[in-house]
Amino acid sequence: MESLHDERQRQELMRFFKTGPGEYGEGDKFLGLKVPQTRQVVKLVGRDLPLGEVPELLMSRWHEVRLCGLLIMVARFEKLATKRLMNDEHAISGRDEIMRMYLHHAEQANNWDLVDLSAPKILGTWLLLPTRLGDKQAIVDELAGSSNLWRQRMSMVCTWKTSQQGDPSWCLRYAEWHLHHPHDLMHKAVGWMLREMGKRCSMDLLRQFLDRHVHEMPRTALRYAIEKMSPDERHHWLNA
């Protein structure tokens, strides 16, 4: 991955992911790889790399190398999460091992892209499957209650997967939990997940949520939540 270094792209990524002093990605370091390049590395080496070596990637100073480690975990998890293996004891054990590793190193997913490319496919899928790790809600609540922005975003963005499968309860729980979060990145995540919940589960549920909370929602969260509504309905909620 270091051999693929691209200085011009590196500078662009550092600006895009807000790595300057006081910004949310302060100090993050980039090689200048595009996501398809990282995915190609995952395809080349991910299958044979021992899972025990993935934390070395997750602890890398390079953003793209951490992404590579996360995408290897996603690929391994998805192979163990097929319908055929849903209740297979070996698969359950393998999924739980990946989940433990993901939670242990959660703060290494320290930008929104790292969270968004991993949380729905690992944590979100895990919520839908048998596990031996204990109370699922308690585990996500611990992420939501963390003081770390990226763990908090995981608790919200993971609900994309549960909503896709027709379960709105996770989204509604953590949208309310994070409704008054001070950071714009969480406002965007809350609104985005509400929009997806409405699209995948029930627009009536989304409207009920808005009825209860529209007067206290951050403007950004509201705009994201109503993005796919008709112009007239968007106007109604924005003026509520």
Kindly report each contact of residues 207-215 with a partner whose C-beta sits within 8 Å and lies 24 or more positions away, as own/partner. Answer: 209/172, 209/175, 210/237, 210/240, 213/176, 213/179, 214/240, 215/240
Average pLDDT score, the chain: 97
Q: Residue 46: its pLDDT value, please?
A: 84
Write out pLDDT tens, residues 117-148.
999 999 999 999 999 999 999 999 999 999 99
Write out pLDDT tens, residues 147-206.
999 999 999 999 999 999 999 999 999 999 999 999 999 999 999 999 999 999 999 999
Rounded Cα distance between 87 and 85, Å, is: 6
**Two tokens, residue 1:** 């991955």
Asked if residues 63 and 30 have their Cβ atoms less than 8 Å apart, the reply is: yes
Buried b / exposed e along 1-22 (16+ C-beta atoms within 10 A): beeeeeeebbeebbeebebeee
Rounded Cα distance between 197 and 193, Å, is: 6
Beta bridge partners of 62: 29
Its pTM stands at 0.95
